[in-house]
């Protein structure tokens, strides 16, 4: 079985790195190193040591959509001391079979970099963005997600519905145009959707859909299925006592959010 070595990127305001690393270890990763992007850019750490990349959430550059843009530009233009572009490391990591999970700000970053949804396998070409919640405010609540069984996503295998917390002010997915949205649907790149907790059907109804994303899309994958980005925080539901209803036993109806991170670990170990 392959050894799972995870890399958790932090810095510039990110603040979910510790619980992300904890969740990765709890999900079965042999290692989960927290690394500042500046150390990656300086060449102190290289991505070829790892096969699982997690871009966590927090308040990246002040939790602003322009911040995801700034972070994407750092990835695009930073070079190590020997002149190697950091982006080349990322490309090499993915081409070598690595998997990538972006959560909240990390999802925004993957979209700004053009790694999601990569329609037509056009990686590093921006096709979607994210904008302010329809509610016009920061949303901090639990939501119910349903996975798309036709999606190629390796992080959702074996999962039907799952409850996880969200905490964001800018999580509404904005496709470049209607054609882009149709391509996402036709290719089953909408990996997870916000659903009504009773009917388990995708919804635009607030607060079940906390931001107004079309078709209730909460997360996207790429054609390979090895990249997943989502606004909710599966890493924050890593123990049953995290759930607000754990004392009433209602949390036992669905798996922990940890199941998504574990699915990625299982994929790598089965290779």
pLDDT digits over 97-120, tens only? 999 999 999 999 999 999 999 999
The domain tally of the chain equals: 1
Domain assignment of residue 18, given as a range = 5-270
Measured distance CA(171)–CA(140) in Å, rounded: 12
* Each residue's pLDDT tens digit, 230-244: 999 999 999 999 999
Secondary structure (3-state) at 217: strand
Measured distance CA(226)–CA(220) in Å, rounded: 11
pLDDT at 92: 96
Q: Residues 20, 235: contact at Cβ < 8 Å?
A: yes
CATH number at residue 115: 3.40.50.880
* pLDDT tier at 25, thresholds 50, 70, 90: very high
User: What's the mean pLDDT in 50-60?
Assistant: 95
Q: What is the CA angle 215-233-190, rounded to 5?
A: 30
**pLDDT for 67 beyond 80:** no
**pLDDT for 66 beyond 90:** no
User: What's the mean pLDDT in 255-265?
Assistant: 97
User: What's the mean pLDDT in 87-94?
Assistant: 96
Query: Which residues belong to the active site?
Result: 104, 233, 235
Q: Residues 37, 9: contact at Cβ < 8 Å?
A: yes
**pLDDT for 65 beyond 70:** no
* pLDDT tier at 206, thresholds 50, 70, 90: very high
265: its two tokens:
């670990």
For the chain, give the mean pLDDT: 95
User: What's the mean pLDDT in 142-154?
Assistant: 98
* pLDDT tier at 155, thresholds 50, 70, 90: very high
User: What's the mean pLDDT in 3-27?
Assistant: 97
Measured distance CA(232)–CA(257) in Å, rounded: 10
pLDDT at 251: 59
Task: Tokens 């930073």: give the residue.
Answer: 78
pLDDT at 250: 63
Q: Residues 189, 151: contact at Cβ < 8 Å?
A: yes
User: What's the mean pLDDT in 246-264?
Assistant: 87
Distances in Å between the Cα of 97 and the Cα atoms of 184, 227, 268 are 23, 11, 9
User: What's the mean pLDDT in 144-169?
Assistant: 97
User: What's the mean pLDDT in 120-139?
Assistant: 95
* pLDDT tier at 2, thresholds 50, 70, 90: confident
As a whole-number percent, the residues of the chain with pLDDT over 90 amount to 89
**pLDDT for 267 beyond 70:** yes
DSSP class per residue in 56-75: --B-GGGT-HHHHHHHHHHH
* pLDDT tier at 64, thresholds 50, 70, 90: confident
Distances in Å between the Cα of 81 and the Cα atoms of 8, 42, 75, 197 are 22, 6, 15, 51
pLDDT at 84: 86
Measured distance CA(41)–CA(88) in Å, rounded: 11
């Amino acid at each position: 079985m392959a050894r799972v070595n995870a890399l958790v990127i932090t810095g510039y305001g990110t603040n979910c790195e510790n619980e992300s690393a904890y969740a990765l270890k709890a999900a079965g990763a042999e290692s989960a190193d927290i690394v500042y992007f500046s150390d990656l850019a300086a060449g102190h750490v290289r991505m070829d040591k790892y096969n699982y990349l997690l871009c966590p959430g927090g308040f990246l550059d002040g939790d602003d959509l322009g911040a995801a843009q700034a972070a994407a530009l750092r990835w695009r233009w930073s070079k190590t001391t020997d002149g190697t572009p950091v982006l080349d490391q990322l490309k090499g990591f993915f081409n070598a079979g690595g998997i990538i999970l972006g959560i909240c700000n990390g999802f925004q970053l993957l979209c700004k970099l053009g790694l999601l949804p990569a329609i037509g396998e056009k990686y590093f070409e921006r096709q979607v963005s994210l904008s302010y919640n329809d509610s016009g405010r920061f949303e901090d609540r639990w939501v119910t997600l349903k996975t798309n069984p036709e999606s190629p996503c390796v992080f959702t295998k074996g999962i039907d519905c799952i409850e996880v917390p969200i905490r964001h002010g800018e999580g509404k997915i904005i496709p470049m145009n209607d054609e882009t949205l149709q391509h996402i649907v036709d290719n089953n790149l909408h990996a997870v959707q916000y659903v009504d907790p009773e009917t388990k059907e995708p919804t635009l109804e607030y607060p079940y859909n906390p931001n107004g994303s079309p078709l209730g899309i909460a997360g996207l994958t790429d054609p390979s299925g090895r990249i997943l980005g989502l606004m909710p925080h599966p890493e924050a539901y890593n123990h049953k006592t995290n759930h607000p209803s754990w004392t009433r036993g209602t949390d036992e109806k669905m798996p922990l959010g940890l199941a998504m991170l574990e699915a990625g670990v299982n994929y790598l170990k089965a290779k």
